[in-house]
Amino acid sequence: MSAIYPGSFDPVTNGHIDIARRSARIMGHLIVAVLDNPHKKPLFSVSERVSLLRDVFSRDSNIEVDSFTGLLANYAQSKNIQVIIRGIRGPEDLVKETPYAVWNNQLAKGLAQSLETLYFTAKPTLAHISSSIVKEVAAYSIPSGQHDAVLAQAVPPTVHEALKVKFSK
Ligand code: PNS
């Protein structure tokens, strides 16, 4: 069975990678889908995010990377997929995600589809990692050459290098 793991992935972190691999192992096949959101100003363009993700998952034969615009329920229908994967780092994620799961289910029903959201709890050692904190730390620490090792624990090497390119003086 195939599932979609949607997100902004701006940029992909070690937390995302763990959720993607654990869910792909159970589902059989996973599409990591980057949202192209015209209302947000990301650090990495959609094509940069897709290419970082493709690099990260280049050896995972059960994971493919794609991008989409518009409603996730429509994208799921276009791929004939009935399962969405989301990672949960703590109670606030569950509170935030619950209405999305209900909306996606109802939107899919309107398209005569079934669409369920499965939650994967983040590994405790990775639950503190978010793309937004990674970007904040990178923005301050990379120009001053500090905290390299701490950043390296949160993101894969290719993303670490890409952050250095964005934030080097
Ligand atoms: O990584 P993020 O930013 O938490 O991911 C949020 C995402 C992309 C999963 C969510 O914003 C999304 O699916 N957006 C697509 C538009 C849509 O379908 N909105 C929800 C209808 S309820």
Residue 169 has pLDDT above 80, yes or no: no
Q: Ligand 1 within 6 A of 104 CB?
A: yes
Task: Return the ligand 1 atom nearest residue 8 CA.
Answer: 1
Work out the average pLDDT over 146-152: 93
Which contiguous run of DSSP H or E holds residue 134?
helix 131-144
CB burial of 52-68 (b: ≥16 within 10 Å; e: otherwise) equals: bbeebbeebeebbbebb
- Which residue, judged by its Cα, is nearest atom 3 of ligand 1? 8
Task: Return the ligand 1 atom nearest residue 33 CA.
Answer: 8
Q: Ligand 1 within 6 A of 14 CB?
A: no
Residue 1 has pLDDT above 90, yes or no: yes
Work out whether the CA dihedral 58, 93, 67, 167 comes out positive or negative.
negative
42-56 pLDDT, tens per residue?
999 999 999 999 999
Decide if 126 contacts 19 (C-beta within 8 A). no
pTM: 0.97
What's the CA-to-centroid distance between 7 and ligand 1, angstroms? 6
% of the chain residues with pLDDT over 70: 99
Q: Ligand 1 within 6 A of 4 CB?
A: no
φ/ψ (deg, to 5) at 33: -115, 120
Task: Return the ligand 1 atom nearest residue 84 CA.
Answer: 9
